[in-house]
Amino acid sequence: MVEDFGYGVLILSFILAIYAIGSAVYGYVHRSQKWVESSRLAMQLTFPILTLSVISLIYLLVNDQYHVAFVYEVTSRSMPMYLKITSLWGGQSGSLVFWAWLMAAFSTAVSLRKWDRDREFLPWVVVVTSLTMAFFVGLVIFYENPFLQYWKSFSGDVISAMFQPAGSAFFAPTDGRGLNPLLRHPGMVIHPPMLYLGFVSFVIPFAFAIAALVTGRTDDRWIRITRRWTIIAWTFLSLGLVLGGRWAYDVLGWGGYWGWDPVEISAFMPWLTGTAFLHSVMIQEKRGMLKYWNMLLIILTYALVIFGTFLTRSGVLSSVHAFAQSAIGPAFFIFIGITFVTSVALLIYRWADLKAESQMTSMLSREALFLLNNLLFMSILVVCFWGVIFPLISELVTGQKITVGPPFYKNATGPLFAALVLLMGIAPLSAWGHSTLKTLGQAMWKPLIASLVVMVIIFFGFDIRQPYALIGFFVIFTSAFITIYEFWRAARARSRAQKENILLALWRLAGRNRRRYGGYIIHLAIVCMSLGIIGIEMFQTQTQGTIAQGQSLQLDGYTVTYKDLAVFDTNDNRNVARAVLTVSKNGQFLTELYPRRDYYYESQQPMTIPGVRSTMADDLYVILVDWQPILSSGATFKIYHNPLVNWLWLGSIILIFGSIVAGWPDKEVEIVPARVRRNQIAGSAVGQQVD
């Protein structure tokens, strides 16, 4: 049977992962290259083996095999094919299989690189990646098996078990419960995979960092190897967070994109440390500094990836994003503790070898400003971490779970984010090694004047008087103008020197230093996203009212008129209540909106779909709250006016483009500093001693 086959290959992949760990350690200790190579091949084999398990599970999902408990819980006959496939990660056990499969894919991909220069790293990269994969596969095998089947005992009780229990018979329900309505959205197709890809990608730089600590190669070679892996991980995680925000905006019906939910924050925390890591590794590459810090950052990122997965799946926190209560919590907690303590112990063991090769001599140098950037990221992390664990601590101490709401996070992190955006513009203007206020002022005065002009327009032209909003706009436009001015200065200088068109000069500049200019594009993306965040957070307005057919609600110059309401059943087992509204402004008709509420008979759960009119200036976001069978009795609508929110989504698109530019391989041959070449020669000599 398919379910037996799928479970069997899961066990085989677990055995292969354990073998890869053991043979890698044995090969390293006994200097046997044959055993190390065997471990690499075993790790590569886990991917096709796990692929068979994933295919088996998808087969069961799309073919309505409801005698399998997982299939019954997440699918139904009324669901379209694409949702049946994506329901693989719509439940606890399936999502763990998917996580392990992605981990196997990335482990295999990194094992295919040429290891000639870095042979001593290989066994420990295998150990770390295979250990992580074995942990997740083990969770599936021993705790969350998606291949459990339904059996009915002779007394009538339904039992879920892998194999037929004594005194029972085969039992197959005629239909499944189906996905939670909130998951029946196109975001389900792409948001979880992007988030998982970001999580598993960060395991790769962590594996190389541990390999560097174990082998004693404490130069920046491991950073150079994993640079693009880190950018890929950061890009996927960024995309996952943004898509999650858009999904929430579309289906949760509260007019927002980010509610500071504990599970949202658990995915945001490794993004914070990963972003700090991407900035600080440049200091080590350029100046040979912050080696301790970079190691600690990647260790924290890995720990937070596992911690975030633990929070989502253990059931310790209440969240719309979390899975149900599960017994896997203690296993996660033990794994996090062991890996974190071991990693920190290795870092302490190699502490003396991680001495900086130069000293920080100027508080305005680029490395000093990058370090300040890191400290701001870590301050936000502390706020987020405390907010997430405080309910757990309060329940442990007082017996009551006291939750921390959005006002806490907004008040604590708002000034820190503003400082980050401003620093994002200033830091690239400073020089490595030494900078002064005079040199920074010379580079900043023109963008500052442009920002002040814009602020005058905002203050008098748009009549904005909120102090925090004005500070936010000033920070945003200052950072934006500085970044654009940097593009202009560099392109103009090359245009004059090479007699090129200014656009061609900019294109070739970006091609020669993709990492730098990709970073600038990402900075502009963050500026756009910040503009959207200020718009919705500081200027959002709302109203709610019950109106009869033909009556209207007013909000910020918009007039929303209730025209009609239809209630009907659909072919996919839904009951739909769909309102028709007209929207006008200053007496001019703009559009019709169709907010609705879908009720799913299978799961007996409703889902609210807003009607939205979107422009780059604002969103008018309308929710159908309630209605009466007779139109004249009225319907209740809630209306949000969200200024500038679409700059958030535009910025996310620009961010992905900038990440692609920054991570695209350079054509030029990498110039390796002399200090690095000496360490590489020494490392190669050690590697040649391995049989």
Instruction: State the pairing for strand pair 149-153/158-161.
Output: antiparallel
pLDDT, tens digit (0-9, with 9 covering 90-100), for 369-382: 999 999 999 999 99
Q: CB-based burial of residue 354 (10 Å sphere; 0-12 exposed, 13-18 middle, 19+ buried)?
A: middle
Q: What is the DSSP string of 432-499?
A: SS---HHHHHHHHHHHHHHHHHHHHIIIIIS----HHHHHHHHHHHHHHHHHHHHHHHHHHHHHHHHT
> Tell me, what's the pLDDT at 631?
62
> Tell me, what's the pLDDT at 575?
92
d(CA 681, CA 685): 6
Strands in 517-634 per DSSP E = 541-547, 552-555, 558-569, 574-585, 588-593, 596-600, 605-609, 611-614, 618-627
More confident residue, 673 or 122: 122
> Tell me, what's the pLDDT at 683?
43
d(CA 248, CA 660): 26
Strand partners for 545: 637
pLDDT, tens digit (0-9, with 9 covering 90-100), for 262-290: 888 999 999 999 999 999 998 888 888 88
Ranges 211-225, 388-402, 667-681: which has the least confidence = 667-681
Ranges 32-41, 63-72, 331-340, 507-516: which has the least confidence = 507-516
> Tell me, what's the pLDDT at 499?
85
pLDDT band at 401 (very low <50, low <70, confident <90, very high): confident
d(CA 678, CA 410): 49
DSSP letter for 148, please: -
> Tell me, what's the pLDDT at 315?
54
Average pLDDT over all residues of the chain: 88
d(CA 239, CA 192): 10
Name 193's Cβ contacts closer than 8 Å, sequence gap at least 6. Answer: 89, 98, 102
Radius of gyration, CA atoms only, the chain: 28
> Tell me, what's the pLDDT at 616?
94
Residue 477, pLDDT > 80, answer: yes
pLDDT, tens digit (0-9, with 9 covering 90-100), for 169-194: 888 888 888 888 888 878 788 888 99
d(CA 111, CA 207): 12
Q: Are 168 and 154 in contact (CB under 8 A)?
A: yes
Q: Are 569 and 575 in contact (CB under 8 A)?
A: yes
pLDDT band at 533 (very low <50, low <70, confident <90, very high): very high
Residue 346, pLDDT > 70, answer: yes
Q: Check the CA dihedral 295-298-304-305 and report its sign.
A: negative
Q: What is the mean pLDDT of residues 667-682?
A: 45
pLDDT band at 486 (very low <50, low <70, confident <90, very high): confident
Q: What is the mean pLDDT of residues 351-377?
A: 88
> Tell me, what's the pLDDT at 316?
55
Q: Are 263 and 322 in contact (CB under 8 A)?
A: yes
d(CA 515, CA 479): 19
DSSP letter for 68, please: B
Q: Are 521 and 509 in contact (CB under 8 A)?
A: no
What is the percent of the chain with per-residue pLDDT over 90, rounded to a whole number? 58
Please tell me whether the overall predicted TM-score, pTM, comes out greater than 0.85 for this model: yes
Residue 690, pLDDT > 70, answer: no
> Tell me, what's the pLDDT at 621?
96
Looking from the CA of 236 toward its CB, the CA atoms found within 13 Å total 18
Q: CB-based burial of residue 536 (10 Å sphere; 0-12 exposed, 13-18 middle, 19+ buried)?
A: buried
pLDDT band at 648 (very low <50, low <70, confident <90, very high): very high
pLDDT, tens digit (0-9, with 9 covering 90-100), for 136-174: 999 999 999 999 998 887 777 888 888 878 778 888 888
d(CA 662, CA 226): 14
Identify the three-state secondary structure at position 652: helix
d(CA 291, CA 218): 8
Q: Are 317 and 261 in contact (CB under 8 A)?
A: no
Q: Which amino acid is at 165?
A: P
Looking from the CA of 65 toward its CB, the CA atoms found within 13 Å total 18
pLDDT, tens digit (0-9, with 9 covering 90-100), for 67-121: 999 999 999 998 889 999 999 998 889 999 999 999 999 999 999 988 888 899 9
pLDDT band at 323 (very low <50, low <70, confident <90, very high): very low
Instruction: State the pairing for strand pair 588-593/574-585.
Output: antiparallel
Ranges 168-177, 526-535, 558-567, 658-667: which has the least confidence = 658-667
Residue 617, pLDDT > 80, answer: yes
d(CA 682, CA 334): 37
Residue 670, pLDDT > 70, answer: no
Q: What is the mean pLDDT of residues 385-411?
A: 85
Instruction: Read off the tokens for 619.
Output: 């969103």
Residue 688, pLDDT > 70, answer: no
d(CA 497, CA 438): 26
Instruction: Read off the tokens for 400.
Output: 């009551």
Instruction: Read off the tokens for 641.
Output: 């006016």
Give the burial string for 220-243 (b: 16+ CB within 10 Å, else e): bbbbbbbbbbbbbbbbbbbbbbbb
Residue 397: C-alpha distances to residues 317, 392, 402, 408, 615 (Å): 16, 9, 11, 21, 49
Q: Are 27 and 39 in contact (CB under 8 A)?
A: yes
Give the burial string for 14-51 (b: 16+ CB within 10 Å, else e): bebbbbbbebbbebbeeebeebbbbbbebbbbbbebbe
Q: Check the CA dihedral 76-77-79-83 and report its sign.
A: positive
Q: Which amino acid is at 127?
A: V
d(CA 19, CA 16): 5
d(CA 199, CA 206): 11
d(CA 481, CA 422): 11
pLDDT band at 632 (very low <50, low <70, confident <90, very high): low
> Tell me, what's the pLDDT at 687?
39
> Tell me, what's the pLDDT at 123?
95
Phi-psi region of 548 (alpha: psi -120 to 50; beta: other; left: phi over 0): beta
CB atoms within 10 A of CB 399: 7
